[in-house]
Structure 1
Amino acid sequence: MAALQFPCTIFTTQNRMDDYGAKDMRCGDLTEAQLTSQYRLNYLSDRVDPYTLTRHSSMDCPQSMFCCNLRSQGEKITRQQCAAIMFDEFRQLSRLFSVYGPYRHLIEKMITHMQNGNGTPFRDVSLDRALKEQILNDKTKNSTLLRIRDTLKKYIIWEDKNYPTKDKDELRKTILEGKLPKFDRFQDNFNGMGITVHDTWATHITIRSLQIENDRYRAVVHYKVQDHFGLDSDDILKKKFSQFHFFRIWFVLQRYNQFGFKPFMTNMEATVEITGGRDESKN
């Protein structure tokens, strides 16, 4: 019986890696008229008005995370000054969603990357660490790692010390029935990961190696995950997003044709190990 050869990619999402044609990767494509009428983004910032390029006075609008509809008649500023002020406010408002933990700094770092990175992909060791922790700490029945573990045990031909090629698709099917690593847990609303990543766009899972000896196996599994740091129209039309200055500023910096700051790919990778035995009972 033919044995599966490693490394072997056992799962890829329908969404492609590096999909720059995705809706949330658009930038600089909307006019002021569209933003104010279709998306109701009249008042965006407590500090500036990007449509009139004026600085708000302290009396224009009460300091609030919620939107209001006043327009400013304040000091004139340049487009570059306006964008810089909005990015500063964007970073400050991000702290509402990133309160504690080792990943709370990431959102400000990613906002700065949007400001200066010109759409280049983003990597950070903290993102890789967060992904690995999420994978290892998921002990639910939907854990992709635990599902891979159980499928390996079930289909390994122990006498031949291999995993048969004909059963490769069983690995893909068991992952489909589980839940891919995401940052949508309750704690992710406050630890910085929910606002930086939350859901993910594309995932590839590869078994890099499989060693079988003495009715025991050891598998090295690699996760490659990609998200988009960008907003699409569906996002900003939802009240839970549009009510906050944070998302309103983000959308306009990205989509307004006078700014057009580029969204970017957020890349994460994690390598984890699975071990098990022929006679082990299922947890």
Structure 2
Amino acid sequence: MTALQFPCTIFQTQNRMDDYSAKDMRCGDLSESQLKTHFHLLDVSTRANPYTLTKITPFTQPQSAFHGSRGEGEKITRQQCANILFDEFRDLSRLFSIYGPYKRLIEKMITHMQYGNGKPFTSMHLDGALKEHILNDRTENSTLSKIKNALIENIDWTNNTYPTDNKGKLRGAILDGKLPKFDRFQDNINGMGITVHDTWATHIILKSLHISNDSYRAVVHYKAQDHFGLDVEDIARLKFNVFRFFRIWFVLQRCNTFAFKPFMTNMEATVEITGNRNDSKK
């Protein structure tokens, strides 16, 4: 029986990596009329009007008692307006990122959207967050736990190998678990829920597997990717549309006046696991 060769990709999501055709990766494809009519994006910013390219003051705020008494606000360039919107975008992000080592990540990602021209984003903090999530997931649906059990059950302990014919059982075990996602309660306020939340694509690679004396030691590599972008379904949801943060984001990305490019968020983590032939399932 043929032994599995390493490194070996044991799992890939149906969604592919670097999918720039995804709906949330579009930019500059909507007009002012569409944004106002279809998505009701009339009140976007408290500081600048992205449609008239004017500054907003207390006298030009629609809800102000002084509205209209001083005419339109000061005219500004498209670039000046974008800069004002991005500053407000960053300021509002603090509502979703209150504490912990990842609290500044969202501001860095917003700045990357402003100046990165769609280049992929990586961060040691993102990699650290992914690794922490994988190692600290103690639930029965943990993919790491599923991999451990699948190795114990399917290793050829007589010959100290993992048979190629059993490769599919590793994938099946992972499918039965829950991939790392930042949708836990703490992610709502630690910055990870707003920066990543879900992931678009995930690859899991078994980099090495050493078996001896009824024990194994394996090195598993996770590669996950998310899109820092919004699609029309996102902004149509009340929980998104109600927040000025998302209204500004959507306009900066999708309005043909601005068309700032969304980008891929890349995360990687390598973990080591050990186990014994006689370990009971956990």
**CA positional deviation for 1:177:** 1.1
Partner of 2:118: 119
Amino acid aligned to 2:230: L
Asked if 1:197 is matched to 2:193, the reply is no
Amino acid aligned to 1:119: G
Partner of 1:84: 83
Partner of 1:67: none
Partner of 2:161: 162
SS in 1 for 2:170: helix
Partner of 2:212: 213
**CA positional deviation for 1:62:** 8.7
**CA positional deviation for 1:2:** 1.1
Partner of 2:45: 45
- The 2-side partners of 1:22 and 1:128 are apart by 23
SS in 2 for 1:266: strand
- The 2-side partners of 1:104 and 1:62 are apart by 33
**CA positional deviation for 1:279:** 1.2
Asked if 1:172 is matched to 2:177, the reply is no
Partner of 1:249: 248
Amino acid aligned to 1:255: R
Per-residue CA deviations over 1:47-93 (Å, capped at 9, x if unaligned) read: 01010001011244499xxxxxx898211111100000000000000
Per-residue CA deviations over 1:200-241 (Å, capped at 9, x if unaligned) read: 000000000000011110000000000000000000000000
SS in 2 for 1:271: strand
What are the equivalent positions in structure 2 for 1:146-161 lying under 5 Å apart?
A: 146-161=145-160
- The 2-side partners of 1:43 and 1:227 are apart by 28
- The 1-side partners of 2:152 and 2:221 are apart by 18
Amino acid aligned to 2:2: A
Partner of 1:15: 15
Per-residue CA deviations over 1:96-126 (Å, capped at 9, x if unaligned) read: 0000000000000000000000000000000
Partner of 1:3: 3
Q: Taking every aligned residue pair, what percent have the same amino acid on both sides?
A: 69
Partner of 1:282: 281
> Structure 2-normalised TM-score?
0.96
Deviation larger for 51-60 or 236-245: 51-60
- The 2-side partners of 1:14 and 1:36 are apart by 35
C-alpha RMSD of matched pairs (Å): 1.3
Partner of 1:26: 26
Amino acid aligned to 1:37: T
Amino acid aligned to 1:93: L
Partner of 2:268: 269
SS in 2 for 1:30: coil
- The 2-side partners of 1:196 and 1:62 are apart by 31
Partner of 1:66: none
- The 1-side partners of 2:267 and 2:245 are apart by 24
Partner of 1:56: 56
Partner of 1:110: 109
**CA positional deviation for 1:281:** 2.1
Per-residue CA deviations over 1:230-271 (Å, capped at 9, x if unaligned) read: 000000000000011000000000000010000000000000
SS in 2 for 1:173: helix
- The 1-side partners of 2:126 and 2:60 are apart by 39
Amino acid aligned to 2:27: C
- The 1-side partners of 2:23 and 2:178 are apart by 23
- The 2-side partners of 1:177 and 1:258 are apart by 45
**CA positional deviation for 1:169:** 0.3
Partner of 2:73: 74
Gaps of 5+ in 1: 64-69
Number of residue-to-residue matches in the alignment? 277
Gaps of 5+ in 2: none
Deviation larger for 271-280 or 87-96: 271-280
Amino acid aligned to 2:21: G
